[in-house]
Chain A
Amino acid sequence: MGRFVVRRLLGMILVLFAISVLVFLIFNVIPNSDPAQRMAGKVATPALVRSITEEWGFDDPLPQQYLTTMEKIFSGDLISYSDQRDVDEEIVKGLPATFSLCIGAAVIWMFFGIVFGYLSAVRAGGLTDRLLTILAMIGISMPVFTLASIFLIYLTYKTQLFPSGGYVGLTEDPFDWAYHLVLPWTTLAILYVGFYSRVLRSNMLDAMSGDYVRTARAKGLSERRVMVRHVLRNSLIPVVTLFGLDFGATVGGGAILTEAIFSLNGVGDYAFESTTNLDLPPIMAITLFGAFFVVLFNTLVDIAYAYLDPRVRLGSSAQ
C-alpha cells in the first residue's frame, strides 16, 4: 500500500508539472502575437504593455519566463490588468459558491442516477425501463443552457417560483441558500443523472448473469434482497469510480456554464466574466487551479480506492 501511494504521488507531481508547462505554453508562447499585448486585455496602452513585458520578463529565456509566471500565480500577486483586481483573491472568494453548487448537484445526480438505473435494470425491457431510457438519453443530450432557459422561462419569469440567480451564503440564511440553488443544482445534475443511470443499468444487467446471483437465488433469498444486496452493490463499484472523476471535473471547470447562467458569483462565473472580457490573467490562473484540482482529487480517489479494494493496487503494478 505504501509503495502504491508513493508511486501515485510521484506520478501526480509529474502530471502537475506537465500541466503547468502546458498552461504556460498556451498563454505565453503561442506564436504570432506579443503575450504582453494579450495579457493587457482591452485597455492595452503602450505603457502598460511595456510594463507587463518588464514585470513578466517576456524578454527572458523561456525557462526563466516559466518560473516568473508560476511565481506570480502561486504567490498571489497576479492581478487582472482590466480591472486591477487580485486574481487569487477573487478565486478564493468564489469557492463557497462553486462547492455549494457542485456538492449539491452531486448528491442529486448520485441519488437519482442510482434510483433510475436500479429501476431500469430490474424492469429491463419493460415500460418503466423504456421510459427511463428515453429520459436518460434526453438528459445526456440536453445542453445546459437549453435546460436552464426552459427553467428560467417557466419557473422564473412566467411564474416567479424561483429566483433567476444569485448566491446567498449558507451561513447567512440556509433556507435562502438552498432556494437559490435549486435550479442550478437541477440543471447541473441532469446530464449525470442520465449518464449514471445508463451505466448502472448496463452494469447490473451484466452482474445478473453472475454465478453468485444464481447462488443467492438458489439459497432462497427474496428477489429484492438478491437485487439490492448482491447485484446493486457489486454494480456500484464502477459508478463510484466515475463519480470520483466527474466530481473533480465538475468543480475544476465543468460547472462554468451553470454558474454563468445563474450568476452564482463562483469561480466558474469569474471564468465566464473574464472570458467575455478576454481578460487572460484570471483565465490562466483558473485553468491551472482547475486542472490541479482535478489531478489532486483523482489521486486521492485512487488512493482511497486502492485502500478499499486491494485488487486495484495489485493490478495497477502490471500496467
Chain B
Amino acid sequence: MASESHPAPAAAAPTGRSPWRLALGRLRRNRVALAFLALFVLIALFVLAAPLWANHVAGTGPNTTHTLEKIEVDGEKREVVNREGKPIGPVWFGAGGRFFLGADGRLGRDEMVRLMYGGRTSLFISLVAAGLTTLLSIALGLLAGYYRGWTDSVISRAMDVIWAFPVLLLGIALGTALAVGGLQLGPISISGSSIWIPILIIGVVYTPYMARPLRGEVLALREKEFVEAAVAQGAGPLRVMLGELLPNLWSTIIVFFTLNIANNMLLEAALSFLGAGVQPPNSSWGTMISTGFDVISSEPLLSVLPGTMILLTVLSLNVFGDGLRDALDPKSKLRLEAHAGLAEPEGTPV
C-alpha cells in the first residue's frame, strides 16, 4: 500500500528522510485530502474577506438594517423588504453586489455580508477553542502520564466526570449559567454576551476526548529507552516532558487538533442554535440557522445557506483530518478501534 516500503534501488545514494518528510510525501499523494484542504482554505478566505466585501461591494455592515429601502436590480426598482414583510431573494450581481444573496428577513440585512461575518465568528471560535483544548490536553496528558500515581488519578477521575456528561448538555448547562451573569475569574471579567464564553466552554468540554489518548501515549512512551537515557543524563521532569515526550506526540496532536476544529464548529452551531452559545449582538452560522428556522417554510434559503457552510467546513476538516491520520500514522495506531468506545472525537454526538 505505501510505496516507500519497497527497498530503495541500490544505485540511489541513501539519503536520510525524516518521518515528517515521509508523512508529507504520503499526504501529497492523497489527492482527495488535498482537495478538501483546498476547500477549507477557500472557506477561510471567504470569511476573511468579509470586511472587503462589506465595505467595497455591498457597502453595508452585518447588522445594518435596510427595511424601508429600495434597490435598483437590473434597472428596476425593488423593495428590500416588501409590504408583507417578505425579504428580497438573491439578486446576484443585479445590484452591483448589494444583496448578492438577498436580505435576511424583516430587518432587511444583507445576507451575504451576514454569512461572511457569521462565518468569521464560527471559525474563530472553533479554532481558538481547539487551541485551548490542545493546550489543556497536552498539559494534562503529560502530567498524568509522566507522574502517574495520584497526579494521574486526580486528573483521570476529573476527566471521567466531564466525560460522563453528554457534550451538548454540559455545554448548555455552562452556557446558560454563564450567559446570565458572565464570568469573573480573578482579574479577568468576561461579559455574558462575549464570544469568549462559548470558546471557553467548547475548549473545556472537549478536553477529555483529547487528553485521554495523549495520556495513554505518554504512559507507553515514558517506558522507552530514550526517556531512561534522558533521565540518566540528568534531565529534569520538565525537560523530559517537553523535550523528549512532547515531540513524539505531535502527530497525534495534529490529527486530533484538525478533527477537533470540526467538532467545535458543530458544537458551537448547536449551542448557538439552542441559545446557549453566541449571544446577540454577535452572530454566527449557528445563530443564523436559528433565526432562519423561524421562517423556514417561506424563506428556506436563510437556514440552508449557513447550514451548508457548516456542512462544507466540517466535511473538509474531517476528510483532510482522515488524510492526515493516514499520512502521519500509516500503521494506524490511532485508528478508531484502538480506542474503541474511547477517544474518537468524530464519534462524539453533538
Contacts and interface: CB of A to CB of B under 8 A. Distances in A.
A144 B180 CA distance: 27
B269 interface: yes
A276 B275 contact: yes
B306 to A, nearest CB: 9
B266 interface: yes
B230 interface: no
A206 B307 contact: no
A287 interface: yes
Nearest to B347: A195
Given A19-B161, A202-B335, A276 B274 contact: yes
Contact of B303 (A38, A145, A198, A298): A145
B308 interface: yes
Contacts of A256: 168-169, 172, 274
A153 B337 contact: no
B314 interface: yes
Interface residues of A, number: 67
B318 interface: yes
B274 A242 contact: no
Interface stretch (B69-77, B182-190, B248-256): B182-190
A198 B319 CA distance: 13
A142 B311 contact: yes
B169 A271 contact: yes
Given A33-B182, A276-B275, A26 B177 contact: yes
B177 A275 contact: no
Given A275-B275, A291-B164, A141 B173 contact: no
Contact of A15 (B160, B182, B310, B332): B160
A86 interface: no
Contacts of B300: 149, 153, 157
B304 to A, nearest CB: 6
A137 B319 contact: yes
B340 A257 contact: no
Given A19-B165, A22-B161, A143 B184 contact: no
Interface string A201-215: 011001000000000
Contacts of B322: 137
A275 B293 contact: no
B341 A245 contact: yes
A294 B166 contact: yes
A287 B177 CA distance: 12
Contacts of A38: 177, 180-181
Nearest to B181: A33
Contacts, number: 193
Contacts of B185: 31
A146 B181 contact: no
A153 B322 CA distance: 32
A131 interface: no
B173 A242 contact: no
B139 interface: no
Interface in B132-171: 157, 160-162, 164-170
Contact of A143 (B189, B276, B307, B347): B307
Interface residues of B, number: 61
A283 interface: yes
A202 B262 contact: no
Contact of B176 (A18, A34, A241, A283): A283
Given A149-B293, A195-B347, A291-B169, A202 B161 contact: no
Contacts of A290: 165-166, 169
Interface string A17-31: 011001100110011
Interface of B: 157, 160-162, 164-170, 172-185, 189, 262, 266, 269-270, 273-276, 289, 292-293, 296-297, 300, 303-304, 307-308, 310-311, 314-315, 318-319, 322, 332, 335-337, 340-341, 346-347, 349-350
24 contacts: A30-B178, A31-B185, A138-B315, A143-B307, A146-B310, A149-B300, A149-B304, A157-B296, A192-B349, A199-B337, A202-B332, A202-B336, A238-B340, A242-B341, A253-B166, A253-B168, A253-B169, A257-B270, A275-B172, A275-B274, A275-B276, A290-B169, A291-B170, A294-B165
Interface of A: 15, 18-19, 22-23, 26-27, 30-34, 37-38, 137-138, 140-146, 149-150, 152-153, 157, 191-192, 195, 198-199, 202-203, 206, 238, 241-242, 244-246, 249-250, 252-254, 256-257, 260-261, 271-272, 274-276, 278, 280, 283-284, 286-287, 290-291, 294-295, 298
Given A31-B183, A143-B266, A149-B289, 13 more contacts: A18-B161, A26-B177, A27-B177, A37-B180, A143-B270, A191-B349, A202-B337, A241-B340, A241-B341, A253-B165, A271-B274, A280-B177, A291-B166
